[in-house]
Chains A and B, each alone.
Chain A
Amino acid sequence: MAENDYIINVIGLKKAFKVSKREEGFGAAIKSLWSRNHETVYGVDGIDMKVQRGEIRGLIGPNGAGKSTTIKILSGILHPEEGQVNVMGYVPWKERQKYVKKLGVVFGQKSQLWWDLPPIDTYALNREMYKVPHKRYLELVDYFKELLQIGDVVHKPVRQLSLGERMKCEFVCAMLHEPELVFLDEPTIGLDIISKENIRKFVKQVNQDLRTTFILTTHDMSDLENLCENVTIINKGKVVYDNGMSRLGHYFSKKKLIDVQFKEPLDRGRLDEYTLLSSDELTATIELDLDEDDLRQFVYELLGKLPVQDINIRNIPIEDVIRDIYTA
């Protein structure tokens, strides 16, 4: 793939923070008035990352992993200590003002809408900020209103909107200047299942229609499964996984989970020989390592030994894979 097919190209990115440290107790608190110990901590410690134009990329990691710091550097908010960053041909923190004209940001927990006014007023302000031609602005507002079904909503004061309606309006705000790249920071946090679905549909549609690249940070695995082809997992400031979502599903391909339902209540002692993830009198979930056991043989023996009414074989859930990567 040619280098200019990448909208984001990051090499060896490092960002250090000076963190003050203090001993426990009142004396130490007083001492800290004139003398403080500091420690240098790398929030981002040598990240390499490439994102293709038009991609919806998941960027995930446990709390404190460095994903927000990475996003902030990519947005031009923070200056890194080391590394090269090229986003849409810009070095974000050096050419911030020009660069952010092509950038959209949605913070799931923060609002850029004026609280006491209808969203349409904030849209007008954004039109002015980003110098969107009036005709194009009207076309886009209509397009987004229809896509998100918020025809009436944009005329009500923000304080009267539900969280789902507000998030839809936030998206419009971030998209009105037709950014090539949009950072979505936990966009579905706190939303009900219908609102989440609507937001995901919207992201997919805009991605298709306008070829907008999205970088999505989330803790909701269904966001990733529904939207992203590729995912980058960051932990302790380093990239620990950077590949397709489907490959993530095969991460534990040598392991299977077998859900068993019994015909009658079962004495727990009869399950001692199995690796149990959960069990009660009538059900059990057994983990099977295919390096040690043959699946067909195992199931055959299970059916012979136990009063099985129903059986279901499945892969390790993606949440468990990610949890395993986080804790590695």
Chain B
Amino acid sequence: MTANITGLLKLYYWNMKLSVSRSMAYRFDFVIGVLTSILFSGTAPFLQYIFFTQTKGYPGWNLDQIMLFQGLLLLWLGLRQTLFGNVMNVAHGLVRKGDFDRLLVKPYPPLGVLLCSGFNLKGIGSLISGCVLTGYAFARLDLVPGPAEVLLALASFACSIVLYMGVMTLLCTMVIMLVQVGRLEELVERLLGFGDYPINIYPKLLQKLFLTVFPFAIWAYVPSQALLDRLGSDNATAAVGCFAVFAISVWIWNRSLNRYTSAGG
């Protein structure tokens, strides 16, 4: 198990190196991609700013706090795009060309190989914007979080990665087994979008859901609460939920893989 994880981390590193080399082969596309990403990632905080200043805002959040939330959200979106932005492209490519069998003749778990092929340098734009905005919000809030708060925020990012791997696993299972999943991916994206807002704007039932079964609050809400030193104990369920989603998705993947029939040829 440990050997498997170490092997997969090394594989991820190698895939990342090749992915960077490939991006460098198309330098113009890479530069344009990063610039566009920085430009567009700035629109969401700007819209939030307009919304916040023109309305009553979100209950329990002032402008600087919401800026921190937006900064962390951008940071997360950039991180997930960088780490796993290519996974669905690879999955679609494998299915379209009937190449999924190739993963099964590699000495690794096929799901691991798929997730390890996810590195996408284009996410770096959002990552940079997120860092800048978070830094700015820290300065505005005059925030000096203690080590415990920082650790909690980092732990919630780690849980976010686990959760996102679970979501990717479910989507890949559907793409590979059903081939045509049409707009299901779009639906999942919309669902994930619920985590892009502070969850206290939702009704109580949804708040519970986003902290347990669909713990999307873990992306930005939980780490910002941690850094603002107002994390409640109920937020711990979100971390458990992330691992549960991942475990269930891996179980579904393995069951589907045993029933995999490949394509003709």
Interface residues of A (CB under 8 A from B): 17, 64, 68, 72, 75-79, 96-98, 100-101, 103, 105, 107, 110, 112, 114, 116-117, 121-122, 124-125, 128-130, 157, 185
The reply to whether the CB of B55 lies closer than 8 angstroms to some CB of chain A is no
Checking A75, A77, A114, A185 against B18 with a beta-carbon cut-off of 8 angstroms, the contacting residue is A114
Instruction: Looking at the assembled complex, report how far the CB atom of A198 sits from the nearest CB atom of chain B, in whole angstroms.
Output: 24
28 A–B contacts from the bound complex (CB under 8 Å): A17-B261, A68-B265, A72-B101, A72-B262, A75-B101, A75-B105, A76-B104, A76-B105, A79-B258, A97-B108, A98-B107, A100-B105, A100-B106, A103-B105, A105-B105, A110-B97, A110-B98, A112-B102, A114-B18, A116-B25, A117-B22, A117-B25, A121-B18, A125-B15, A128-B11, A129-B11, A129-B14, A129-B106
Are B105's CB and A116's CB within 8 A? no
Residue of B nearest to A159 (CB): B25
Q: How far is the CA of A234 from the CA of B106 in the complex (A)?
A: 27
Q: How far is the CA of A315 from the CA of B195 in the complex (A)?
A: 75
Chain B residues whose C-beta falls within 8 Å of the C-beta of A105 in the assembled complex: 102, 105
Interface residues of B, count at CB 8 A? 26
Chain A residues whose C-beta falls within 8 Å of the C-beta of B265 in the assembled complex: 68, 185
Are B99's CB and A75's CB within 8 A? no
Q: How many interface contacts (CB-CB < 8 Å) are there between A and B?
A: 66
Q: How far is the CA of A121 from the CA of B262 in the complex (A)?
A: 29
B222-265 contact mask (Cβ, 8 Å, vs A): 1 or 0 = 00000000000000000000000000000000000010111011
Chain B residues whose C-beta falls within 8 Å of the C-beta of A130 in the assembled complex: 107
Q: How far is the CA of A72 from the CA of B104 in the complex (A)?
A: 10
Q: A96-B104, A100-B105, A129-B106 are in contact. Are A78 and B261 (CB under 8 A)?
A: yes
Q: How far is the CA of A112 from the CA of B14 in the complex (A)?
A: 15
Checking B26, B104, B258 against A116 with a beta-carbon cut-off of 8 angstroms, the contacting residue is B26
Chain A residues whose C-beta falls within 8 Å of the C-beta of B261 in the assembled complex: 17, 78
Are B14's CB and A77's CB within 8 A? no
Residue of B nearest to A19 (CB): B261
Q: How far is the CA of A75 from the CA of B14 in the complex (A)?
A: 25
The reply to whether the CB of B89 lies closer than 8 angstroms to some CB of chain A is no
Q: How far is the CA of A77 from the CA of B260 in the complex (A)?
A: 8
Chain B residues whose C-beta falls within 8 Å of the C-beta of A122 in the assembled complex: 18
Are A117's CB and B18's CB within 8 A? yes
**Counting chain B CB atoms within 10 Å of each CB, which of A77, A105, A107, A110 scores highest?**
A77
Checking A64, A78, A98 against B262 with a beta-carbon cut-off of 8 angstroms, the contacting residue is A78
Instruction: Looking at the assembled complex, report how far the CB atom of B147 sits from the nearest CB atom of chain A, in whole angstroms.
Output: 36
**Counting chain A CB atoms within 10 Å of each CB, which of B105, B262, B264 scores highest?**
B105
The reply to whether the CB of B145 lies closer than 8 angstroms to some CB of chain A is no
Chain A residues whose C-beta falls within 8 Å of the C-beta of B262 in the assembled complex: 72, 77-78
Are B107's CB and A117's CB within 8 A? no
Task: Known pairs A64-B264, A117-B21, A185-B265; list 6 more (Cβ under 8 Å).
Answer: A107-B102, A114-B18, A117-B18, A125-B14, A129-B11, A157-B25
Q: A17-B261, A114-B18 are in contact. Are A129 and B108 (CB under 8 A)?
A: yes
Chain B residues whose C-beta falls within 8 Å of the C-beta of A17 in the assembled complex: 261
Instruction: Looking at the assembled complex, report how far the CB atom of B95 sits from the nearest CB atom of chain A, in whole angstroms.
Output: 13
Chain A residues whose C-beta falls within 8 Å of the C-beta of B140 in the assembled complex: none
Chain A residues whose C-beta falls within 8 Å of the C-beta of B101 in the assembled complex: 72, 75, 77
Chain A residues whose C-beta falls within 8 Å of the C-beta of B109 in the assembled complex: 97
Checking A75, A101, A112, A185 against B107 with a beta-carbon cut-off of 8 angstroms, the contacting residue is A101
Chain A residues whose C-beta falls within 8 Å of the C-beta of B99 in the assembled complex: 110
Q: How far is the CA of A157 from the CA of B21 in the complex (A)?
A: 11
Q: How far is the CA of A129 from the CA of B98 in the complex (A)?
A: 22
Q: How far is the CA of A167 from the CA of B258 in the complex (A)?
A: 31
Residue of B nearest to A174 (CB): B105
Q: How far is the CA of A17 from the CA of B105 in the complex (A)?
A: 21
B1-34 contact mask (Cβ, 8 Å, vs A): 1 or 0 = 0000000001100110010011001100000000
Chain B residues whose C-beta falls within 8 Å of the C-beta of A112 in the assembled complex: 102
Chain A residues whose C-beta falls within 8 Å of the C-beta of B258 in the assembled complex: 79
Checking A68, A78, A114, A157 against B264 with a beta-carbon cut-off of 8 angstroms, the contacting residue is A68
Residue of B nearest to A104 (CB): B105
Chain B residues whose C-beta falls within 8 Å of the C-beta of A121 in the assembled complex: 18, 21
Are A100's CB and B264's CB within 8 A? no
Chain B residues whose C-beta falls within 8 Å of the C-beta of A116 in the assembled complex: 22, 25-26
Q: How far is the CA of A236 from the CA of B101 in the complex (A)?
A: 23
Chain A residues whose C-beta falls within 8 Å of the C-beta of B108 in the assembled complex: 97, 129
Q: How far is the CA of A97 from the CA of B98 in the complex (A)?
A: 21
Q: How far is the CA of A318 from the CA of B30 in the complex (A)?
A: 55
Residue of B nearest to A130 (CB): B107
Q: How far is the CA of A298 from the CA of B167 in the complex (A)?
A: 77
Interface set, chain B 75-128, CB cutoff 8 A to A: 97-99, 101-102, 104-109
Q: How far is the CA of A185 from the CA of B102 in the complex (A)?
A: 12
Which 7 pairs across A and B sit closest by C-beta, in order of nearness?
A: A68-B265, A77-B104, A101-B107, A116-B22, A128-B14, A105-B105, A77-B101
Instruction: Looking at the assembled complex, report how far the CB atom of A217 sits from the nearest CB atom of chain B, in whole angstroms.
Output: 10
Chain A residues whose C-beta falls within 8 Å of the C-beta of B25 in the assembled complex: 116-117, 157
Chain A residues whose C-beta falls within 8 Å of the C-beta of B107 in the assembled complex: 97-98, 100-101, 129-130
Instruction: Looking at the assembled complex, report how far the CB atom of A220 sits from the nearest CB atom of chain B, in whole angstroms.
Output: 16
Q: How far is the CA of A105 from the CA of B104 in the complex (A)?
A: 11
Are A114's CB and B22's CB within 8 A? yes
Chain A residues whose C-beta falls within 8 Å of the C-beta of B105 in the assembled complex: 75-77, 100, 103, 105
Q: How far is the CA of A122 from the CA of B102 in the complex (A)?
A: 14
Chain B residues whose C-beta falls within 8 Å of the C-beta of A75 in the assembled complex: 101, 104-105
